[in-house]
Amino acid sequence: MTQKLPPEIQGEIVRLRERGKTIDQIMAKLQELAPEADLSRSALGRHVKWLDEEFEDLRRSRQVAEHLSAALEDGRDAHSARINIQLLHNEVFELLRQTRQMARLAEEAGESAPLGERAKAVASIGRTLANVTRAARTNLDYIAAVRAEAAEVATKEAAGRAADAAKAQGMSADTAEFIKAFVLGVKAP
């Protein structure tokens, strides 16, 4: 059916379905827009069913991306990981869309859907999600390590400045070392 209809009519079908219109409502609108088109209700029904499946694939792939993004929220500097997740979201959606289209074409040709291909696609998605999640965790671990190192350097610098300030105020070297140890959180020598 979609191959026979102009793109603007196909787009109108999508818009109407996104707005929750029924097959009969869509059919009435199409007859109004393209009265010359030879549309059957059953063909439209198959197409709408396929659209609903496409919408569901999109919803699921967005949900995957949202869950992965939520897992990264504790890392403020994980911008590149978020970008990768969005790219993965697009690829997951495209893979699901193509798999759904292959199944639809097989159904229209009277053949059974290529479930083996779908199973391979799902396995591939699973591996990809595991890899992205692992990469995101590695990225967060790296960020945490860099922050910890920066905090340690800052603390040592602050302790040194505190000891220098104590000496400058005429305190003994022992008192200055005590202050430095206190700032560092270690036992004074």
pLDDT in tens, the chain (189 residues): 444 677 788 888 989 998 999 999 999 998 888 888 778 888 888 888 888 888 887 777 777 767 666 665 655 445 656 666 777 777 777 777 777 787 778 877 888 776 676 677 777 777 877 777 787 778 778 888 888 999 888 888 888 888 888 888 888 888 878 887 887 777 766
- Whether 189 maps to a domain, the answer reads no
- Whether 14 maps to a domain, the answer reads yes
Q: How far apart are CA 68 and CA 139, in angstroms?
A: 13
Total domain count, the chain: 2
| Residues 165-178 as b or e (16 or more Cβ within 10 Å = b) | ebeeeeeeeeebbb
Q: How far apart are CA 181 and CA 31, in angstroms?
A: 84
Asked if residue 89 and residue 33 are part of one domain, the reply reads: no
Task: Output the pLDDT for position 16.
Answer: 92
- Whether 22 maps to a domain, the answer reads yes
Task: Output the pLDDT for position 75.
Answer: 54
Task: Output the pLDDT for position 22.
Answer: 92
- Does residue 44 contact residue 26 with C-beta atoms inside 8 Å? yes
Asked if residue 23 and residue 74 are part of one domain, the reply reads: no
Domain that holds residue 101: 40-184
Q: How far apart are CA 106 and CA 112, in angstroms?
A: 6
Taking the CA atoms of residue 34, residue 39, residue 43 and residue 49 in that order, the dihedral angle to the nearest 10 degrees is: 30
- Does residue 51 contact residue 23 with C-beta atoms inside 8 Å? no
- Whether 97 maps to a domain, the answer reads yes
Count CB-CB contacts under 10 A for residue 68. 20
**All residues at 6 or more sequence positions from 179 whose CB lies less than 8 Å from its CB, including other chains:** 159, 162, 163, 166, 171
Report the predicted TM-score, pTM, of the whole model to 2 decimal places.
0.43
